[in-house]
């Protein structure tokens, strides 16, 4: 498993390098890097429940490709990613990610926003750190 994650990091780096050589702006390059890092984190920690393509599993795990929350309340999504939350009043909860940094949360949000139906935004770790201070736990 660790080999696959490490290998994915190199693929992301090569993708970014190709984009740099093709003339992407600094902002586009930062977004590509964050998206690549987020994809690796998502695959390692989120895909088991939400699916490899973020398609979810019916009412049990939401489809993240068309997430109204990511479009309208990304701050709430950041808090839920880091601290977890109960799912629909059920006893089951989404696990927290206590070892993740604001950069990790920002990377996953950037990756999720790039999926079909979402806003394709770049989330910056400094902004996410400020948001995380105000999370209601």
Q: How far is CA 112 from CA 1, 37, 57, 67, 91, in A?
A: 22, 11, 16, 9, 26
Q: How confident is the model at residue 1 (pLDDT cuts 50, 70, 90)?
A: very low
Segment 87-111, tens digit of pLDDT: 555 566 889 999 999 999 999 999 9
Q: What is the pLDDT of residue 90?
A: 57
Residue 111: what pLDDT?
96
Question: Which carries the bigger pLDDT value, residue 137 or residue 56?
Answer: 56
Nearest residue to 130 (alpha-carbon basis) of 49, 75, 61: 75
Q: Where are the domains of the chain?
A: 2-56+66-133
- Distance (Å, rounded) from C-alpha 52 to C-alpha 100? 20
pLDDT computed for residue 33 by the predictor:
93
Give the integer Cα–Cα distance in Å for 35 and 54: 14
pLDDT digits (tens, 9 = 90+) for 33-89: 999 999 999 999 999 999 999 999 888 888 999 888 888 899 999 999 999 887 555
Domain 2-56+66-133 has CATH 1.10.760.10: yes
Burial label for 113, CB within 10 Å (0-12, 13-18, 19+), is buried
User: Which pLDDT score is estimated for 117?
Assistant: 76
Q: What is the pLDDT of residue 88?
A: 54
């Amino acid at each position: 498993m660790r080999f696959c994650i490490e290998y994915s990091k190199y693929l992301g780096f090569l993708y970014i390098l190709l984009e740099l050589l093709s003339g992407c702006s600094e902002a586009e390059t930062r977004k590509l890097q964050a998206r690549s890092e987020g994809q690796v984190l998502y695959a390692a920690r989120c895909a088991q429940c939400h699916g490899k393509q973020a398609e979810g599993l019916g009412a049990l795990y939401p489809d993240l490709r068309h997430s109204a929350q990511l479009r309208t309340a990304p701050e709430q999504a950041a808090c839920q990613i880091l601290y977890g939350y109960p799912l629909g009043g059920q006893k089951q909860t989404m696990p927290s990610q206590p070892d993740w940094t604001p950069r990790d949360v920002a990377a996953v949000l950037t990756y999720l926003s790039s999926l079909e139906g979402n806003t394709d935004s770049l989330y910056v770790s400094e902004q996410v750190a400020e948001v995380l201070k105000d999370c209601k736990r």
